[in-house]
Homo-oligomer: A and B are copies of this chain.
């Protein structure tokens, strides 16, 4: 589960938009609020707009706003918009893998891993990410001490 800089920035931008919803916020305000390179933020906002996750308004007083309610947009959608599929194995989607011999069962493993990732990112909305009021399942996952430990 590697989240790129683009992905991280996109989510930070998205939760900032969620907090301000439905006001429009300029790219430079967003960049300043989250300490991101402004130009890079613009690129990312372009991705989010093309994915129809945000609307943009040009001109003075312009900026960006979420296209839907913050409770209705998942973190997963944001990540996919900027980084592509959540899960890939050697550049392929899990269900497209296929092996011979001892490895024949691996596709099921890859699919299970993807399902696990989805069960987090697709089940958390921007509103939840912004407020910290996560679904019970997510709270459970972070409850164990060792969830916070490196391995």
Mark A residues whose CB is within 8 Å of B: 1-5, 7-8, 11-12, 15-16, 18-19, 33-35, 75-76, 80, 85-91, 93, 95, 97, 99-106, 108-122, 124, 129-132, 134, 138, 141-142, 144, 147-151
Contacts and interface: CB of A to CB of B under 8 A. Distances in A.
Contacts of A88: 1-3
A125 to B, nearest CB: 11
A59 B141 CA distance: 48
A122 B112 CA distance: 12
A114 B101 CA distance: 30
How many copies of the shown chain assemble into the complex? 2
B142 A95 contact: no
B33 A114 contact: no
Contact of A16 (B19, B80, B102, B116): B102
Contact of A105 (B111, B113, B129): B129
A80 B151 CA distance: 9
Nearest to A91: B5
